[in-house]
Amino acid sequence: MENANLQAVRRLCEEWPRLTREGFNQLLTADCLYINVPWLDRPRIGADAAHEALSRYQDGWRVECRTLNIVASGDVVLTERLERFQRPGETTLTDLYVMGAFEMKDGKIAKWRDYFDAAQAAPILA
């Protein structure tokens, strides 16, 4: 099961900029709790809500995601990632290093917490 958990999390981490709503629903439970830890007051509940939060980067951005390290222990998967953002027509890249904690249930992501420096993410949010 750990291998399947690793594969599901790796797919989400590396493909979220291109995943459709259906793709999110394949990987996340219907009641998945998704939190960007710098903003604890903005949790997202459900695969659709996670997709809505991230889909704004699917249009208007070029996003490359690399998993630098990934490890599983039972139903928990931890990742270290590099997410690189670039606006179309611009040469400036914004690198965001992210640590993610994922809790799995029946092969799907039930809880997802991303930890990163909010100041490093500021250019992406502007």
Q: What is the CATH number of the domain that holds 58?
A: 3.10.450.50
Give how far Cα 60 sits from Cα of 37, 69, 87, 103, 106, Å. 24, 28, 6, 31, 34
Provide the residue range defining the domain that includes 79: 2-125
For the residues 42-57, what does the mean pLDDT come to?
93
Q: Report residue 37 CA to chain centroid gap.
A: 12
Mean pLDDT taken over the chain:
94
Prediction pTM value? 0.93
List pLDDT tens digits, range 8-44.
999 999 999 999 999 999 999 999 999 999 888 889 9
Give how far Cα 32 sits from Cα of 64, 67, 90, 120, Å. 24, 21, 35, 26
Strand partners of residue 76:
73, 103
Categorize the per-residue pLDDT at 126 as very low, low, confident or very high, splitting at 50, 70 and 90.
low
d(CA 111, CA 76): 9
For the chain, what is the domain count? Answer: 1
